[in-house]
Structure 1
């Protein structure tokens, strides 16, 4: 009796890698929540950074980190289970992000302010649209039998992986960019705190994307490289 896709106990390096990555994600999210939740008690806007920091900084990033198998808990699970965790966390994350998006729209309407008039709002709109499209494409990537043999499964998986890498980059960039808005100082944030949030999310993104990038490069070599000759 074999356990397909199961692994041995995670190494010390894997545990340290997972712990560091989660610390770099959790610390800035907690800091943002400390600033934004009290702000949200007297302003609807305050719940926008709350939703976005949780949706992006915890749920969406964990969805990518878990499917790669580098997260400590996920590293002990078979591939099929990690994929299930991936789409469940993504779905919840997208719902939370959607709530944050609705909150900022309603807040703009209440204050009679123009929509998507700032770099942050424009970047956020584009990123959300691309995130939804990439997530929808992920359904196809998880069900490649729908288009096989017309389309090779590896092509779909490469496209989804590359799209996911780009989306994580955009989501983290949008989250970081949001700390450069006026609310940051109104909520009690400091320049040093903002710089630490920037650095923490930046390096967390690098750690999360190392394995997906290497995997995408490997698959691209298979797809676009010279055909192997069978001797």
Structure 2
């Protein structure tokens, strides 16, 4: 049974709600990234690159990379799985690059201003997220070159990759959420605008969780 038949076998209301959530997630990812870009004005200072690049990395690139495999809201849903994998790989490379540059920007900025590093939950979790992203990217290499993973089945590798990828995305979403509580953001954004902004990474994380867990449950049903 393929993904299209799988979606047809469930009640239409569930398929419609998931399709609507996926479509809204695309809008939220782009809208939230654009909003942070307006607030940070990348290029106006060294620090400005940090919130912009981190949001671009985890809110846009990583989220869209996962959504490429969504049977409900993928913009390339009719493409072969191998093609989706290539698009996913490209976006994940962009995600990792932006994350490293964003971390470098804040690290160098703190050095210039004589401030200590990683003294807040946001800073510590941000570092952990960037490291997890790097490890996740390296661990994905055997999916491309399966000969490197002797003794491991491709299906098992994909299952672990999906699970660890979800954890990495949740770390990124939490880091973004904590970033909205920093003085930089709260001094310029407050009230309903702040709560609406905070809902963006939360909503995106919930959609990612639903997509990955639903896919894994479907695979288990097919194997049983």
How far has the Cα of 1:181 moved from its partner?
A: 0.5
- Deviation string, structure 1 residues 111-160 (Cα, Å, up to 9, x no partner): 01111111110001111111110111111123323334x22222222211
> How many aligned positions are there?
215
Aligned to 1:22: 26
Asked whether 1:214 is paired with 2:214, we answer: yes
Q: After TM superposition, list the pairs within 5 Å mapping 1:1-80 onto structure 2.
A: 13=16, 16-37=20-41, 40-41=43-44, 43-80=45-82
Alignment match of 1:91 (pick from 81, 90, 93): 93
Structure with bigger RCO (C-alpha 8 Å, 6+ apart): 1
How far has the Cα of 1:72 moved from its partner?
A: 4.0
Q: Per the alignment, do residues 147 and 46 of structure 1 end up closer, same or farther by CA in structure 2, a change over 3 Å counting?
A: closer
Q: After TM superposition, list the pairs within 5 Å mapping 1:138-153 onto structure 2.
A: 138-148=140-150, 150-153=151-154
Would you say the 8 A contact 1:61–1:208 is kept in 2? yes
Please identify, of 159-168 and 204-213, the stretch whose mean Cα deviation from structure 2 is larger: 204-213
Larger Rg: 1
- Deviation string, structure 1 residues 162-196 (Cα, Å, up to 9, x no partner): 1011011111110111010011134x211422211
Would you say the 8 A contact 1:15–1:72 is kept in 2? no
Aligned to 1:194: 194
Q: Determine the C-alpha separation between the residues in 1 that align with 2:222 and 2:132.
A: 26
Q: Determine the C-alpha separation between the residues in 2 that align with 1:151 and 1:77.
A: 27
Q: Determine the C-alpha separation between the residues in 1 that align with 2:110 and 2:195.
A: 27
In structure 2, the residue corresponding to 1:67 is in which secondary structure?
coil
Q: Determine the C-alpha separation between the residues in 2 that align with 1:199 and 1:66.
A: 22
Aligned-pair Cα RMSD in Å: 2.7
Instruction: Report the TM-score when normalising by structure 1.
Output: 0.82
Q: After TM superposition, list the pairs within 5 Å mapping 1:63-212 onto structure 2.
A: 63-148=65-150, 150-186=151-187, 188-212=188-212
Gaps of 5+ in 1: none
In structure 2, the residue corresponding to 1:135 is in which secondary structure?
helix
Please identify, of 211-220 and 167-176, the stretch whose mean Cα deviation from structure 2 is larger: 211-220
Instruction: Report the TM-score when normalising by structure 2.
Output: 0.85
Q: Determine the C-alpha separation between the residues in 1 that align with 2:220 and 2:134.
A: 24
How far has the Cα of 1:51 moved from its partner?
A: 0.7
Q: Determine the C-alpha separation between the residues in 2 that align with 1:97 and 1:45.
A: 14
